[in-house]
């Protein structure tokens, strides 16, 4: 029976996450030729081709199948290493996360963290980023994941990535000709709300607010019902909703920064472990 080396699987998964051999090499600390050699070894071991290299590194059918298994195998490997290969950590962490990330990759990430560190108690709250950052400054959180403008004058976040904003609507959404664009929004203070209104106003595109809620599930439900259109970070859009950078003369909304706010001198061992988990998950988007 053959054994699949986890270092080869990790290289393969990282290439897919970052979109290239060179980028994967930079992340893994290997040269581009070394990354190519690892892919070749994996292909020879399985006697398959993983990429259609003439199509911009598009995965073959076999490559797509391996990718789904490889990620599960690496998650299990990392969980074992975290559980058995690191000192036991205990304590509690007060974490704040943005509404639209609470049901996407964070749920899975927090689940894996809890399995790896069962003695750590997580106290998690979700809100719009403006409120999270305000409450962090008042001492309500140990660690906050938040969203801010991509080029703020005084950045508050570290370890951030740039995430494109997209217009989101249901497949049954129909906009009558010449009608103001019906908007589904988070409450005042939300960066998405500000970005949409500013972009539409500058483009002289009429709009009206038809629904406002602080609940992500409420936003999703209103969009699915065809009440109007909204904007979300691209990686958080559910599979059953349509999205695009522009929509019927609606301008591009650009990108936002998604990252973390914390004081490294005040972080406990449990908080540092959680930050590493969240940082790695964020950079896999």
Q: Identify the pLDDT of residue 285.
A: 67
For residue 158, being part of any structural domain is answered with no
Domain of 109: which CATH number? Answer: 3.40.190.10
Domain boundary (84, 107, 122) is at 84
Verify that 168 and 39 share a domain, yes or no.
no
State whether 189 and 167 are in the same domain: yes
Residue 10 lies in a domain: yes
Same domain, 32 and 167: no
The predicted structure's pLDDT at residue 281:
82
Number of domains in the chain: 3
Q: 24, 11 in Cβ contact below 8 A?
A: yes
Give strand ranges (E) for 69-191: 91-98, 120-127, 143-149, 158-169, 181-185
In a domain, 154, yes or no: no
pLDDT (0 to 100) of residue 87:
63
Report, in this order, helix, strand and coil percent for the chain, each rounded to 5: 45, 25, 30
Query: Does residue 272 belong to any structural domain of this protein?
Result: yes
Are 244 and 110 part of one and the same domain?
A: no
In-domain check, residue 25: yes
Domain hosting residue 189, numbered range: 163-256
> pLDDT tens digit string along 99-134?
888 877 777 788 888 877 888 999 999 999 999 999
117 is a domain residue: yes
Query: Are residues 264 and 139 located together in one domain of the fold?
Result: yes
Q: Using DSSP, state whether 138 is helix, strand or coil.
A: coil
Q: Are 263 and 154 in contact, with CB atoms under 8 Å apart? A: no
* In a shared domain, residues 60 and 121: no
Q: What is the pTM of this model?
A: 0.71
Residues 49 and 37 in one domain: yes
Is residue 237 classed exposed, middle or buried when 0-12, 13-18 and 19+ CB atoms within 10 A define those classes? buried
If asked whether residues 244 and 273 sit together in one domain, one would say no
The rounded average pLDDT for each run of 10 residues, N- to C-terminus, in the chain (285 residues) is 88 84 80 89 91 79 90 84 72 93 77 84 93 95 94 82 93 83 94 94 93 92 94 90 86 93 92 88 76
């Amino acid at each position: 029976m053959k054994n699949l080396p986890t270092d080869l699987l990790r290289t393969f998964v990282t290439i897919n996450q970052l979109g290239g051999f060179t980028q994967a090499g930079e992340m893994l600390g290997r040269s581009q030729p070394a990354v190519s050699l690892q892919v070749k070894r994996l292909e020879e071991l399985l006697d398959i081709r993983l990429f259609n290299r003439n199509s911009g590194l598009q995965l073959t059918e076999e490559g797509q199948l391996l990718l789904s298994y490889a990620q599960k195998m690496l998650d299990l490997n990392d969980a074992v290493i975290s559980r058995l290969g690191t000192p036991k950590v205990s304590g509690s962490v007060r974490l704040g996360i943005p509404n639209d990330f609470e049901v996407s990759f964070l749920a899975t990430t927090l689940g894996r963290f809890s399995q790896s560190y069962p003695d750590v108690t997580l106290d998690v709250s979700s809100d719009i980023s403006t409120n999270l950052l305000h409450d962090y400054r008042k001492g309500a959180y140990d660690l906050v994941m938040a969203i801010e403008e991509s080029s703020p004058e005084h950045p508050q976040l570290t370890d951030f990535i740039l995430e494109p904003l997209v217009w989101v609507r249901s497949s049954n959404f129909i906009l009558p000709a010449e009608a103001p664009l019906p908007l589904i929004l988070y409450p005042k203070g939300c960066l998405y709300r500000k970005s949409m209104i500013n972009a539409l106003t500058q483009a002289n595109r009429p709009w009206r607010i038809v629904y406002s809620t602080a609940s992500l599930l409420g936003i999703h439900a209103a969009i699915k019902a065809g009440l109007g259109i909204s904007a979300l970070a691209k990686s958080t859009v559910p599979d059953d909703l349509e999205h695009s950078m522009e929509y019927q003369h609606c301008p591009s909304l650009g990108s936002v920064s998604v990252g973390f706010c914390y004081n490294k001198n005040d972080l406990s061992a449990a908080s540092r472990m959680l930050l590493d988990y969240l940082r790695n998950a964020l950079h896999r988007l």
